[in-house]
Structures are given as structure tokens and as C-alpha cells.
Amino acid sequence: MQNLQQAKRDLHLMTTMTRLDKYQVLIIDDIGYVKKTDAETQVLFEFIAHRYESGSLIITSNQPFSRWDSIFPDTMMTVAAIDRIIHHSTIIEIEGDSYRKNQSLKNKPIS
């Protein structure tokens, strides 16, 4: 996202996004984990809109869609992003304890 943001500032955003089209699948990991600036989320939305129907995205998030209003700066952008993401998607929801937490507990010495 930082590269896309820089490309937008340099007026090369479309060229940069088109360059990424050579990849069949791109991964956005932990969307919503770290609060982004409005500029970052606007570029994220533009990227999601660009990839819509042109290439696959794998997006991971610890936030359900109902909380994505905290990711994007306004409701309309949130709804539009989710609409594009879910239109041709397979959603996999994983419930349960954290894998990292479970591994950590397994590696603790028994006292």
C-alpha cells in the first residue's frame, strides 16, 4: 500500500496498479489490523476497485465486515469495497483460538 500511495503522489498510480496485473493472485494480509490514514485507505479502495474482475485478491482480516467501517473513512467507501470483494468471492471464516496462542502454550515448559 505504501508503494501505491507513493505512486499516487507521483501521479503514476494506474501504471503501478497495471504492473501488478501480471500477478494472478495478490494477498492483502491483516486488513484492518493497523489503523491507516485516509490517504492509505483511499489507495486501498482504488486498488480493490482496480482488481475487481481483473485479478484475484486474498484478503485476511481479524475484523468481520460489520466492523470494516473502522477501516475506510466513510460508509459509502466501506460498502463499495465490501461489495466488490464479496461479489465473486469465497469467504472462509475461521473461528477458535489463535494458532499462535496455541503454539505458545504447547512450547511452555511444564512446571
Burial of 73 (0-12, 13-18, 19+ CB in 10 A): middle
CA 52/CA 56 separation, integer angstroms: 8
Number of domains in the chain: 1
pLDDT of residue 36: 77
pLDDT along the chain (111 residues), means of 10: 90 94 92 78 91 90 89 90 93 83 78 60
pLDDT of residue 62: 85
CA 3/CA 9 separation, integer angstroms: 10
pLDDT of residue 84: 94
CA 46/CA 69 separation, integer angstroms: 16
Q: What is the pTM of this model?
A: 0.78
CATH number at residue 26: 3.40.50.300
